[in-house]
A and B are shown apart, each in its own frame.
Chain A
Amino acid sequence: MDRTLKNRLEVRLAGLTRGPVRQRYDETEIRVSPGDAPKVLTILHDSIDLRFEILADLAGVDTGAEMQVVYHLWSPASDDWLRVVAEGISRDDPRAPSATFLWPGAEWLEREAYDMFGIVFEGNRDLRRILMPADYLSFPLRKDFLLGDDASRTPGAGVRHSERAQVPATPAGGDPAVRRAPAS
């Protein structure tokens, strides 16, 4: 656990983070809003005392209530991994800015997040499906993805019971069958 990292982050990113900097074991986590993500990432990448030059991962998350884009970064100046959670992306029209201006390797990672969740990364030059076929219609890792719905839209549709479309019932407050992440 790197205490100095917490101080350095609070100094550099004052006002840009939502909530406190949390640390546990060898990970430090900050939460930002998606609009601030490029600025935050640039500060983390370029600052002399932070130098988070290596993007270890870029993942999409569907918490049931909202969507998040989670970045993991590594720096030679710190013992901890840094997790940047861009939270508060709406589930109906998920958009987030792209990190490809800093790390071109994020292009494929963002393509995967788009493919699995439907998050549109603005600024990514090549936002098309990567793992699923190009004419696929659903976003598989979303929490409201139902295999029956998806299978009923495929060419072999409706033959087996598991490929019949389920009529989704969305009561007020959201579908109780959809798992939600606990508000932590």
Chain B
Amino acid sequence: MPTRRQPAQSATTNADPKAAPNARAAGGRRASAKPDVRGVGPRGRISADDPRVTLEQEIGSDLYEPIPPFPIKTEREGEFYSLRDGEIFLNIGPHHPATHGVLRLVLKLSGEQIVDVDPVIGYLHRGVEKICENSDYYHVIDQVDPLEYLSSLFQEWPAVMAFEKLMDVEVPRRAEYIRVLTGELLRISSHTLYMGFMALDLGGLTPILYSFIERDEIVEMLASITGARMLFNYYRIGGVNGDLNHEFMSRLGDWMSRAGKQAEAITALLNENEIFLRRMRDVGTMDRATALRYGVTGANIRACGVPFDLRRAHPYSVYPEIDFNIPTREEGDSLARYLMRVDEIKESIRIIDQCLHQMPDGPIMAKLPRLLRPRPGRAWAAVEAPRGSLGVYAMSDGTDQPFRFRIHDPSFMHLGVVPHMLPGNLLADTMAIVSSLDPVMGGVDR
């Protein structure tokens, strides 16, 4: 029979008595008991390598302390971490099968209904902005790929655009068309994957695999020109890194002939499913004003009725020459956000078609010196990534490393609107709402 161990009672607890629903008897070790002398390290702390030391001695009993573990500093924190009668905290922790990456949601529940939520991010923070301040301009493109790893060309694009503004470089037209073509392909892949993950979070096991089959075809296509399947490192300052080749064109041709029907097949499994529709309709509704004030962009704001798409609102690259629509929906609920992305896939197929027909000949890279030294100054560029508007603010001081490289990520803003959208819904809707916003934690945390 395994023995039951009582955790030590720490003297420095700031426990709210209502926050711990199961009061534990103070058995076992007392707070004043010294830890066992073995394993005390040079600084008075337990050495993590000593196998004689138990986990409890190593971590200490504050693992069992109620949330929050640190003293409350701000007004909003105080408001969140004070419990009224009948409320409990539920921690949907960073380790979770369904939170789209390492995201921690501290929910305050009253029964099954959510009263408040505090998203905690930063588990994937890699310090990309700081690293880029010490990298030269080619390395920045490499560093910026793994941010929203599912659509990594869209991370490179605004970086490269900002640097081109600082170096006064004009990109050849063929390179711009190739950028648009590859970008739209990746947008379709990202949206298809979104649909699969949406279904997976609601319980359907099959559509995710169909999404991955679709994504595999697109990613193989891009691998034949960029050399990589996921972190492409393809765009360069002044153009792209390799021209289209025969293998790419043949794969693209095969895929285009099937593209429309494939998208229909995937959506048919979900769009007419009554359970799916009832789980997503009128869940997580966001109105126009909220979306504008919280900086929501991309398909999420277009699902609220605001036709804000950077490809039309602030055209860049060769989008002014391409004819496409901006689909919009009025409801602003999870179903609208889902259907928006289905519509965008169709628009992207149209754009790819036009790119192929209008592709000019010419060079794919502008002529640049080997050592890139931009003029001192500042530049901002933003593109319409699959998740929203991704912007880069680059400051240069005339050396070969950027002085400040700021990345504005859309998923970051979308998670910021979650505390506004989630209260009032049920616990079971948490995942439906958060995954309908399509966050990718790599971009949120940078």
Contacts and interface: CB of A to CB of B under 8 A. Distances in A.
Partners in one complex: yes
Interface of A: 24-27, 29, 53-57, 59, 61-62, 70, 72, 74, 76, 79, 81, 83, 102-109, 112, 116, 125-135, 140-141, 145, 155, 157, 179-182, 184
Contact of B165 (A25, A29, A102, A182): A25
Contacts of B165: 24-25
Given A126-B75, A127-B74, A105 B376 contact: no
A182 B294 contact: no
A181 B295 CA distance: 29
Contacts of B398: 182
A140 B132 CA distance: 13
B70 A135 contact: yes
Interface residues of B, number: 49
A133 B129 CA distance: 17
Given A76-B313, A135-B70, A105 B122 contact: no
B395 A181 contact: yes
Given A24-B377, A106-B295, 7 more contacts: A27-B380, A56-B408, A109-B295, A140-B127, A181-B376, A181-B395, A181-B403
Given A72-B380, A81-B314, A103-B295, A126 B397 contact: no
A182 B130 contact: no
Contacts of A127: 74
8 contacts: A59-B404, A59-B406, A72-B393, A125-B76, A126-B75, A141-B130, A157-B43, A184-B376
Contacts, number: 117
A151 to B, nearest CB: 13
A105 to B, nearest CB: 4
B126 to A, nearest CB: 10
Nearest to B316: A26
Contacts of B380: 27, 57, 72, 81, 83
Contact of A26 (B75, B127, B314, B412): B314
Nearest to B118: A126
A-B residue pairs, 3 tightest by C-beta: A105-B295, A105-B294, A126-B76
Contacts of A112: 412
A130 B416 CA distance: 11
Interface string B281-312: 00000000000111110000000000010000
Contacts of B178: none
B243 interface: no
Contacts of A70: 393, 406
Nearest to B412: A108
A115 to B, nearest CB: 8
Output the residue of A27, A126, A132 with the most chain B CB within 10 A: A126
B155 to A, nearest CB: 15
A61 B416 contact: no
Nearest to B393: A59
Contacts of B382: 56, 81
Contact of A131 (B73, B295, B376, B445): B445
A67 B295 CA distance: 24
B127 A104 contact: no
Residue of A72, A135, A145 with most partner-chain B CB within 10 A: A72
A126 B74 contact: yes
B121 interface: yes
Nearest to A116: B129
A116 to B, nearest CB: 8
B318 interface: no
Contacts of B130: 140-141, 145
A118 B404 CA distance: 16
Contact of B121 (A57, A61, A130, A184): A130
Interface string B379-420: 110100000010101010110000110101000110111001
